[in-house]
A and B are shown apart, each in its own frame.
Chain A
Amino acid sequence: MSIKHALLALLSEGPKYGLQLRQEFEAGTGQVWPLNVGQVYTTLQRLERDGLIESDDDTDADDGPQKRFRITVHGEEELDQWLHTPPDLSQPPRDELVIKVLIALRVPGVDVGEVIQSHRRYLVELMQQWTRLKEDEAKFDLSFALVVDAELFRLDSVVRWLDAADGRLKRADFEQSFPEAEGSQSAPGLPKMRRRIGVPR
């Protein structure tokens, strides 16, 4: 999460105060990513140091003199470049769930199908909670909807991977048990076994 660029985006709408930026950041992320005041001011100091924003003292503010920040031309260029640069997704992340399933394959006596199911159940329970948030449409503003959708699609992709892993393992088990069955349509008991273990024809 780039707080730096999120603050630049908020300032691209016009000059703002530090506390105002914090409130708008949290509202813009559906309250899912809270931000403390210290993070806001530290980031603003760095942005000012790098010439991406500038500040002035607003002596007419309601709560006494306050620093007001505005984006510079250099800041607008930086924001535009960041928006159009895809994040680096070229390297697969070290996914703990993938590692657990791979390790389960090597441990004698472990039912990998059960390991997969316990993760699947947990993920679906999490998805149920996120989906509950969608139920009350009145509280469901656009930013929040996008955050909830992103989380649901992310969790869904993991469930799909578990389903695919489950299917591959079954197929591997079957081929190990009946090595002659592959390519041999006349193998005794094959149609029945295929149906029972759910292997597509």
Chain B
Amino acid sequence: MSFLELHDVAKIYGEGASQVHALEDINLEVEAGSLVAVMGPSGSGKSTLLTIAGSLEDPSRGEVTIGGAALSHMSRDDKARLRRRSIGFVFQDFNLLPGLTAAENVSLPLELDGLRASKAHAIALHMLDELGLADRAGGFPDELSGGERQRVSIARAIVGERRLLLADEPSGALDSTNGEAVMRMVLAACREGVAAVVVTHDAQLASWADRVMFIRDGRMVDQTSKPMGPETLLARASQ
């Protein structure tokens, strides 16, 4: 069983003549340790898909399971607990709390989940150190560069026992060097066993994924096959 599964998910907004079908017949499976990109233009439904996969919104039809548990059987409190413990979100605009330092932003979800502040802070510092941000731990978000802010937001998303990372255009506001650093972090988290979904319109960002799904007008229309190894590419280039 995959860590994240969406079965026949649909999302319809409005009623009667003003109905909008944001998502239709969405099926998606993301195994632990793999990175899936959902690629599509603005308005194609990819952000709606991410909010439903992250239990922030309920589907109109279909089922979402995370770690084998069906979201439709959970109360609001259960879902909130699941989000705190198992799901990390990354957004294009970082969503860091401006009054907290980088370390405090990272330790916050652990403290909200009941961990002692000193222990949560130690874990946050260790996480920032592993991600090469130890010297920025005491900095406030407005003292960090865009690339550093996004790396802190990824640290916050994967700290603790989080097993699912959901990212919406995580490198959208960054230059290519910082964007690449962000995707390296996402991929490294996946190689440690995290299941990740990145939604984007950007092919360079999507190309970091193990699998790319294409979404158009709320439907999955296509997906990439398993990528061939780099050796194939170099052999072709040298012909």
The answer to whether A and B belong to the same complex is yes
Binding site for B on A (CB under 8 A): 31-34, 113, 117-118, 120-121, 123-135, 149, 152-153, 155-156, 159-160, 163, 166-167, 189, 191-192, 195-198, 200
**Contacting residues, chain B, for A191 (C-beta < 8 A):** 18
| 21 A-B pairs whose Cβ atoms sit less than 8 Å apart in the complex | A113-B216, A117-B216, A120-B214, A121-B212, A124-B212, A124-B224, A127-B203, A127-B207, A128-B209, A129-B229, A129-B232, A130-B207, A131-B204, A133-B230, A135-B187, A149-B176, A160-B203, A192-B19, A195-B43, A196-B217, A198-B43
- B74 lies within 8 A of chain A by Cβ: no
Count of chain B residues with Cβ under 8 Å from any Cβ of A? 38
| A159–B41 alpha-carbon span in the complex (Å) | 12
> Chain A: which residue is nearest B207 at the CB level?
A127
Residues of B within 8 A of A (CB): 17-21, 39, 41-44, 176, 180, 187, 201, 203-204, 206-209, 212, 214, 216-217, 221-225, 227-230, 232-234, 237-238
Known: A127-B204, A130-B233, A196-B217. A167 touches B21 (CB 8 A): no
The reply to whether B227 and A34 form a contact with Cβ atoms under 8 Å apart is no
- Cβ B207 vs Cβ A124 within 8 A: yes
B233 / chain A contacts, CB cutoff of 8 Å: 126, 129-130, 133
Least distance between A170 CB and chain B CB atoms (Å)? 9
In the assembled complex, the Cα of A109 lies from the Cα of B225 at a distance in Å of 27
Return A185 CB to nearest CB of chain B, in Å. Answer: 16
Q: Which of A123, A134, A189, A198 contacts B203 (CB 8 A)?
A: A123
Decide: B214 and A117 in contact? CB cutoff 8 A: yes
Compute how far the CA of A35 lies from the CA of B217 in the bound complex, rounded to whole angstroms.
Answer: 48
With A128-B224, A128-B227 known as contacts, the answer to whether A32 contacts B237 (CB < 8 A) is yes
Of the candidates A31, A133, A198, the one whose C-beta lies within 8 Å of that of B41 is A198
Q: Determine if A129 and B227 form an interchain contact, defined as CB atoms under 8 angstroms apart.
A: yes
In whole Å, how far is A161's beta carbon from the nearest beta carbon of chain B? Answer: 11
Q: Is the interface of B mostly helix, strand, loop or mixed?
A: mixed
Q: Cβ of B20 and Cβ of A152 under 8 Å apart?
A: no
Decide: A117 and B237 in contact? CB cutoff 8 A: no
Whole-angstrom CA separation of A31 from B238 in the bound complex: 8
Query: What's the minimum C-beta distance from B131 to chain A, rounded to whole angstroms?
Result: 15
Say how far B104's CB is from chain A's closest CB, in angstroms: 31
Within the complex, which residue of B187, B232, B238 is in contact with A34, where a contact is CB–CB below 8 Å? Answer: B238
**Contact indicator B225/A152 (Cβ below 8 Å):** no
Does B41 lie within 8 Å of A166, measured CB to CB?
yes
In the complex, what residue of chain B is closest to A164 when comparing beta carbons?
B41
Contact B180 A134 (CB under 8 A): yes
Cα-based distance from A132 to B234 in the complex (angstroms): 12
Known: A128-B209, A159-B203. 17 other contacts (CB 8 A): A31-B234, A33-B238, A117-B216, A124-B212, A128-B207, A128-B227, A129-B228, A130-B207, A131-B207, A135-B187, A149-B176, A156-B203, A163-B201, A166-B41, A195-B43, A196-B21, A197-B217
| Residue with the highest number of chain A CB atoms closer than 10 Å, among B21, B187, B203 | B203
Q: Which residues of A contact B221 (CB under 8 A)?
A: 117
Which residue of chain A is the closest to B39 with respect to CB atoms? Answer: A124
A-side contacts of B17, CB under 8 Å: 189, 192
Cα–Cα, bound, A109→B9 (Å): 31
- Interchain CB contact under 8 A, A129 and B230: yes
Given the interface contacts A130-B207, A192-B20, A196-B217, does A121 sit within 8 Å of B224 by beta carbon?
yes
> Which of chain B's residues have a CB closer than 8 A to the CB of A121?
212, 214, 222-224
**Which residue of chain A lies nearest to B217 when distances are taken between CB atoms in the complex?**
A198
